[in-house]
């Protein structure tokens, strides 16, 4: 009976630890005494059974995400082959967001809008705000490099001849 209760406590600890990343909160949620929760949590994290349970929970969560090599490569390919020109109409205006291709949407790492600039457009010197929009993209070269590594495109260049060097008393390294 004690093993079953211990297993339930361990499951509660691991479940809460996965949520919060805090050993004390996890130990409290699992029913450990408040005065010893921090030390109990630390001790539990060192327990190989708890470590295995945490790993199995993480693996299960990761597998539920359906993250495959193909999905990762497809995402990197979207970054690598996105074109900022797809954001604009032929006359240079920014297209509405919903008209951007998915690859371009994925490639945007940040958008900044500055509306502090004002200009005059008429003789009355009425100041009209000008919206300056700055778009930052994820690194295209990094994405391309990752794809090239995955495709083995650097292997030929990286096959270097290893020269033997003699040091000391005829010892080769």
156 or 103, which is more confident? 103
Spatial separation of the C-alpha atoms in residues 145 and 156, rounded to whole Å? 15
d(CA 73, CA 98): 24
Distance CA 56, CA 44 (A): 16
Q: What is this structure's pTM?
A: 0.48
Give the separation between CA 103 and CA 89, rounded to whole angstroms. Answer: 17
Domain positions in the chain: 2-64, 70-150
Dump pLDDT digits (tens) for 139-169. Answer: 989 999 988 888 888 776 656 555 555 555 6
> Tell me: the pLDDT tens digits for 62-96?
777 777 788 888 889 989 999 999 999 999 889 99
> How far, in Å, CA of 154 to CA of 161, rounded?
15
The pair of three-digit structure tokens given for residue 64, joined into one six-digit string: 């539920």
pLDDT at 1: 42
Inter-axis angle of helices 48-64 and 37-46, nearest 10: 80
What own/partner pairs with CB < 8 Å and gap ≥ 24 does 35-38 have? none
Architecture of domain 2-64: Orthogonal Bundle (1.10)
């Amino acid at each position: 009976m004690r093993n079953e209760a211990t297993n339930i406590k361990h499951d509660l600890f691991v479940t809460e630890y996965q949520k919060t990343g805090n050993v004390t909160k996890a130990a409290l949620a699992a029913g450990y005494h408040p005065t010893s929760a921090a030390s109990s949590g630390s001790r539990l994290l060192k327990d190989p059974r708890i470590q295995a349970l945490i790993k199995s929970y993480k693996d299960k969560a990761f597998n539920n995400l359906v993250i495959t090599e193909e999905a990762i490569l497809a995402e990197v390919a979207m970054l690598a082959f996105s074109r900022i020109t797809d954001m604009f109409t032929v006359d240079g205006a920014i297209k509405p967001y919903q008209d951007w291709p998915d690859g371009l949407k994925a490639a945007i790492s940040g958008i900044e809008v500055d509306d502090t600039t004002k200009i005059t457009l008429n003789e009355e010197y009425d100041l009209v705000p000008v919206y300056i929009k700055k778009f930052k993209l994820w690194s295209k070269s990094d994405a391309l490099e990752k794809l090239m590594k995955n495709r083995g495109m650097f292997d030929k260049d990286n096959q270097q001849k290893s020269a033997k060097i003699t040091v000391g008393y005829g010892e080769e390294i």
